[in-house]
């Protein structure tokens, strides 16, 4: 989806500062395959099923670093640090000989995405250089910060977007030229995506990239918690230091538009019959005895005219729409723009979770955020909870709210394709 309007530009030297680094990469001779050691981002892995699948794929799968398993948080972080040190000592992971930026390509039969991986100088949202669009969950930042302290390594690039000027000059032109060469690595993961990586080390190319990006701002597409973690840990280290930068993938969405998908909710302790009973008189509820694909089509149609959700957990689907206007007026904060007040995620969190179902949204014991639609439904049916299926937000709404400095409710969107974890890491001591 292309954005309307011109590319965002801000004064030079106050924009994006992407710097080269010596990437840590797997030695392909030491692992079963590059595909077998990769993982989706930590918050996309569906635990425990997906975690066990990845751990069994290869003894060196990156999930052992990003989602270590032990009896306590401290033990998990110590285990990740020990594992990382062992892999470095054994040569499983090794640093590239010279610093560079990395061109990263993902492709399947329907999408091609290319961008630049580098160490981006950190900035607060008030600077207007890197724009968040979602609220974050404090305990997740605490967890990620402890892991990063223990390992001193950026193990997963955030996904950031900016609007360039096409491929005629600047960063995107360097990206296009670079992909004409043989890549450092190429692999295809089990989801059907091919991944290729190139290093950019030529001083002229690096200068062209950095000069271009200095005129732009970026939107955090995926990785709000990791960005907040970067900012927290920066305050713990005197500047200048490597902690002033964080690992990101920057994609020019004027050239390579991203997909936007929904993130669903699994309400562990709310049985579906109780959820439906509480909605009586407040929303319209219709039972749909149809396959998942048709339920999602009905959700898309209902979302054209207002807030809508699909609930699941009993073997059927239940379309929930047409909220009572008086209920919304009582429960939705009035001090935000209309585009925020009418978001499905706003209605879900402010109206349904808080006022109707009385569920603490920041409690992992009550709410899980799951990207995979079928997995959300299956878990609800298996565990006796309620799946809340969402319809994706339009990309232009996300960017417009971010420009206004208005953050959306947590886990409102899923931009993609997301970079695979494990292809290139950044150790802060290099």
Closest CA to 353 of 369, 338, 371, 337: 369
pLDDT tens, position by position, 41-86: 888 876 677 888 888 888 999 999 999 998 899 999 999 999 999 9
State the pTM of this model: 0.81
- Percent of the chain beyond pLDDT 90? 76
Kindly indicate the confidence band of residue 181, based on its pLDDT and cuts at 50, 70 and 90: very high
Taking the chain, what is the end-to-end CA distance rounded to the nearest angstrom?
A: 38
Q: What is the mean pLDDT of residues 195-220?
A: 96
Tokens standing for residue 83: 């594992």
Closest CA to 245 of 131, 144, 119: 119
Tokens 């492709």 map to which residue?
107
For residue 189, is the peptide bond before it cis, meaning its omega torsion is within 30 degrees of 0?
no
At residue 68, the pLDDT reads 93
Confidence check: pLDDT of 3 > 60: no
Kindly indicate the confidence band of residue 406, based on its pLDDT and cuts at 50, 70 and 90: confident
Q: What 3-state DSSP class applies to 321? A: strand
Confidence check: pLDDT of 8 > 60: no
Report the C-alpha gap between 234 and 245 in whole angstroms. 8
Report the C-alpha gap between 212 and 357 in whole angstroms. 49
Tokens standing for residue 5: 């309007």
**Angle at 73 (CA atoms; ends 242, 385), nearest 5 degrees:** 120
Q: How many CB atoms lie within 10 A of CB 425?
A: 23
Tokens standing for residue 157: 């690039």
Report the C-alpha gap between 113 and 103 in whole angstroms. 10
At residue 239, the pLDDT reads 92
Q: What is the mean pLDDT of residues 92-120?
A: 96
Question: What DSSP string runs through 12-32?
Answer: TTSS--EE-B--EEE-TTTSS
As a dihedral over the C-alpha atoms of residue 272, residue 275, residue 279, residue 283, rounded to 10 degrees, the angle is: -60
Q: Select the more confidently predicted residue: 150 or 371.
A: 150
Three-class SS string for 345-386?
HHHHHHHHHHHHCCCCCCCCCCEEEECCHHHHHHHHHHHCCE
Please state whether beta strands 426-427 and 153-154 pair in parallel, antiparallel, or not at all (unpaired). Answer: antiparallel
Q: Work out the mean pLDDT of the chain and round it to a whole number.
A: 91
Count H helices and E strands in the chain, helices first.
15, 21
Which contacts (CB < 8 Å, 24+ apart) does range 47-53 have? 49/375
Report yes or no: 265 and 258 within 8 Å, Cβ to Cβ.
no
Q: Which residues contact 425 (CB under 8 A, 6 or more apart)?
A: 23, 24, 25, 93, 153, 154, 155, 247
Report yes or no: 70 and 169 within 8 Å, Cβ to Cβ.
no
Tokens standing for residue 16: 């994006």
Residues recorded for the chain: 430
Closest CA to 64 of 428, 422, 374: 422
pLDDT tens, position by position, 295-319: 999 999 999 999 999 999 999 999 9
Report yes or no: 367 and 359 within 8 Å, Cβ to Cβ.
yes
Kindly indicate the confidence band of residue 405, based on its pLDDT and cuts at 50, 70 and 90: confident
At residue 430, the pLDDT reads 54
Q: How many CB atoms lie within 10 A of CB 110?
A: 7
pLDDT tens, position by position, 242-289: 999 999 999 998 899 888 889 999 999 999 999 999 999 999 999 999
Report yes or no: 375 and 359 within 8 Å, Cβ to Cβ.
no
Q: Select the more confidently predicted residue: 142 or 362.
A: 142
Confidence check: pLDDT of 398 > 60: yes
As a dihedral over the C-alpha atoms of residue 301, residue 307, residue 312, residue 316, rounded to 10 degrees, the angle is: -40
For residue 241, is the peptide bond before it cis, meaning its omega torsion is within 30 degrees of 0?
no
Q: Which residues contact 368 (CB under 8 A, 6 or more apart)?
A: 265, 266, 268, 379
At residue 5, the pLDDT reads 32
At residue 103, the pLDDT reads 98
């Amino acid at each position: 989806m292309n954005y309307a309007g011109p590319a965002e530009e801000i004064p030079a030297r106050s924009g994006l500062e992407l710097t080269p680094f010596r990437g840590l990469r797997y030695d392909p001779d030491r692992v079963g395959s590059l595909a077998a050691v990769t993982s989706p981002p930590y918050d996309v892995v569906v635990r425990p099923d997906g975690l066990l699948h990845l751990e069994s794929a290869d003894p060196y799968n990156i999930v052992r670093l990003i989602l270590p398993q032990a009896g306590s948080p401290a033990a998990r972080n110590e285990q990740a640090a020990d594992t990382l040190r062992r892999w470095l000592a054994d040569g499983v992971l090794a640093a590239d000989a010279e610093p560079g930026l990395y061109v990263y390509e993902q492709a399947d039969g329907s999408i091609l995405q290319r961008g630049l991986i580098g160490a981006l100088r950190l900035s607060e949202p008030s600077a207007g250089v890197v724009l968040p669009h979602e609220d974050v969950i404090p305990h997740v930042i605490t967890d990620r910060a402890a892991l990063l302290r223990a390992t001193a390594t950026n193990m997963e690039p955030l996904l950031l977007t900016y609007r360039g000027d096409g491929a005629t000059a600047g960063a995107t032109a360097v990206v296009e030229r670079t992909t004409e060469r043989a890549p450092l690595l190429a692999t295809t993961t089990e989801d059907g995506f091919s991944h290729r990586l190139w290093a950019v080390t030529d001083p002229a190319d690096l200068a062209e990239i950095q000069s271009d990006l200095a005129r732009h701002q970026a939107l955090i597409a995926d990785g709000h918690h990791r960005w907040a973690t970067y900012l927290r840990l920066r305050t713990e280290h005197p500047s200048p230091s490597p902690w002033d930068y964080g690992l990101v993938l920057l994609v020019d969405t004027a050239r390579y538009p991203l997909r936007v998908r929904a993130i669903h909710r699994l309400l562990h302790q709310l049985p579906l019959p109780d959820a439906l009973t509480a909605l009586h008189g407040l929303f319209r509820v219709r039972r749909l005895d149809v396959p998942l694909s048709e339920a999602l089509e009905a959700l898309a149609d209902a979302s054209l005219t207002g807030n809508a959700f699909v609930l699941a957990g009993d073997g059927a689907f239940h379309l929930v729409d047409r909220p009572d206007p008086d209920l919304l007026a009582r429960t939705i904060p009035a001090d935000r723009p209309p585009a925020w007040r009418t978001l499905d995620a706003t209605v879900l969190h402010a109206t349904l979770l808080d006022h109707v179902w009385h569920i603490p949204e920041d409690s992992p014991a009550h709410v899980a955020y799951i990207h995979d639609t079928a997995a959300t439904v299956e878990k609800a049916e298996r565990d006796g909870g309620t799946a809340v299926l969402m319809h994706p937000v339009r990309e232009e709404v996300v960017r417009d709210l971010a420009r206004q400095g208005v953050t959306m409710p947590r886990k409102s969107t899923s931009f993609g394709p997301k970079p695979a974890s494990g292809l290139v890491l950044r150790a802060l001591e290099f």
